[in-house]
């Protein structure tokens, strides 16, 4: 049974489709709309994930949606108004602040329902920044990607709790399924990353773009502390693009050299086959220095049966159960992270496997992409029903 009304056309607006959780969610929801017989458009600058959108039956509307230049944002609004009218768009869904302004203006001009997803916890140190962030709350409903994010939105913007719906990000259980990953895929990645076939050390994967707040530097420092104790039981694999942050990458390379960790830490670059990467690893870590609004890289490895060490703040407190599916370590504390890595080593292969099985069962139950898409489509249906009857979304709740 279809959740959506007949002849439903969704327009999502996001800066780009390069890599990341918000981008993956955009693709997942587009796929869900198409599967229900609707049309799915994405207005964006484009990127490497655009091919996946189109393969799933979605359509790309290319424009400089990533720009924060006010004149370009006005131009984008005009482009979106034209697109909404031409394609008879039913609902507009914004996924980032800068393009949300253009999307909101276009939605208002065309009287089209508008929702936005708060994909991150945006901190505001001034009234101007709070005004900028608040664009995400100006639609019919706000979607938050975790309970942590939902609480932040309500507290920060003072909006009615019933106007903020928490929908955790989803993981594609058919893609992240150990049984569907061939030994050849894992072997190809092992060779590409230069991991020895007889590697006995604990292979620890940190997946995420190379940016300071993701905590690569902290992870290197924690491994250095282990090494200082004559402990060489860990091989750290840092998988992610620098996305032009050449200075930060050089800084990481310098840290590795200074600590003599060239044999213990590998910068392996962008990875297109994350399911194989998680199977290659024994353990995944998510040492973000700032709270994650959801933290897909703490959930995906659990779906693949790998335990996780995550920073003890933000939404990872919801996704990792200490002692059951992994460990939580104090954010930014290299000593605590060295201890957590040591605990993971001490747990032994059997202990880590038991945790991985518990992690897999829990993550599959709570964080499937199907559950996320269904909840999102129900939000669309709720907004459409409220618009149709002239009632507000608070009256149409449930």
396 pLDDT exceeds 70? Answer: no
pLDDT higher than threshold 60 for residue 85:
yes
| Rounded distance between C-alpha atoms, residue 304 and residue 152, angstroms | 30
User: What does the pLDDT average to over 84-104?
Assistant: 97
* Residues 113-141 pLDDT 10s: 999 999 878 777 888 888 899 999 999 99
> Residue 398 above 60 pLDDT?
no
Positive or negative, the CA dihedral 95, 99, 101, 105 is: negative
Residue 304 has pLDDT above 50, yes or no: yes
Q: What is the rounded CA–CA span in Å between residue 265 and residue 234?
A: 9
pLDDT tens digits along 245-287: 889 999 999 999 999 999 999 999 999 999 999 999 999 999 9
CA 51 to CA 40: how far, in whole Å? 14
Q: Lowest-confidence range among 7-11, 195-199, 392-396?
A: 392-396
Q: How many CB atoms lie within 10 A of CB 394?
A: 12
CB of 216 within 8 A of CB of 237?
no
pLDDT at 123: 74
- Give Cα separations from 179 to 220, 359, 366 (angstroms): 32, 16, 20
pLDDT digits (tens, 9 = 90+) for 40-68: 999 999 999 999 999 999 999 999 999 99
State whether the Cα torsion 282-179-303-96 is positive or negative: positive
pLDDT of 395 strictly over 60: no
Give the whole-angstrom CA distance, residue 168 versus residue 93.
Answer: 16
Nearest to 387 by CA among 139, 193, 206: 139
Mean pLDDT in residue range 331-355: 96
Element (H, E) at 103: helix 97-110
For the stretch 148-188, pLDDT in tens is: 999 999 999 999 999 999 999 888 898 999 999 999 999 99
Distance CA 82, CA 200 (A): 59
């Amino acid at each position: 049974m279809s959740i959506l009304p007949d002849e439903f056309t969704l327009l999502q607006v996001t800066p780009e489709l390069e890599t990341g959780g918000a981008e993956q969610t955009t693709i997942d929801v587009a796929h869900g709309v198409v599967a229900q017989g609707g049309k799915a458009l994405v207005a964006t600058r484009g990127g490497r994930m655009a091919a996946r959108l189109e393969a799933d039956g979605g359509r790309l509307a290319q424009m400089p949606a990533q720009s924060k230049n006010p004149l370009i944002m006005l131009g984008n609004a005009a482009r979106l108004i034209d697109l909404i009218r031409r394609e008879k768009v039913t609902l507009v869904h914004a996924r980032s602040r800068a393009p949300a302004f253009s999307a909101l203006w276009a939605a208002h001009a065309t009287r089209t329902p508008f929702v936005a997803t708060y994909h991150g916890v945006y901190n505001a140190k001034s009234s101007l920044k709070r005004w900028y962030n608040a664009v995400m709350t100006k639609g019919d409903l706000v979607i938050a990607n975790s309970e942590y994010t939902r609480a932040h939105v309500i507290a920060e913007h003072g909006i009615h709790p019933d106007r903020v719906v928490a929908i955790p990000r989803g993981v594609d259980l058919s893609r992240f399924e150990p049984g569907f990953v061939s030994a050849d895929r894992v072997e190809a990645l092992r060779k590409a990353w230069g991991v020895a076939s007889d590697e006995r050390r604990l292979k620890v994967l940190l997946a995420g773009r190379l940016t300071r707040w993701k905590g690569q530097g902290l992870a290197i420092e924690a491994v250095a502390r282990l090494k200082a104790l004559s402990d060489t039981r860990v091989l750290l694999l840092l998988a992610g693009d620098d996305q032009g942050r050449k200075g930060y990458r050089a800084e990481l390379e310098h840290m590795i050299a200074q600590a003599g960790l060239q044999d213990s830490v590998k910068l392996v670059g962008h990875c297109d086959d994350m399911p194989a990467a998680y199977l290659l690893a024994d353990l995944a870590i998510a040492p973000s220095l700032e709270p994650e609004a959801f933290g897909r890289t703490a959930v995906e490895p659990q779906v693949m049966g790998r335990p996780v060490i995550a920073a003890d703040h933000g939404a990872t407190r919801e996704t990792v159960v200490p002692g059951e599916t992994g460990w939580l370590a104090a954010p930014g504390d290299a000593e605590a992270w060295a201890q957590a890595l040591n605990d993971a080593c001490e747990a032994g292969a059997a202990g880590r496997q038991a945790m991985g099985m518990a992690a897999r069962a829990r993550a599959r139950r709570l964080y499937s992409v199907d559950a996320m898409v269904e909840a999102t489509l129900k939000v669309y249906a709720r907004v459409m029903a409220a618009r149709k009857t002239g009632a507000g979304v608070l009256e149409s709740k449930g």
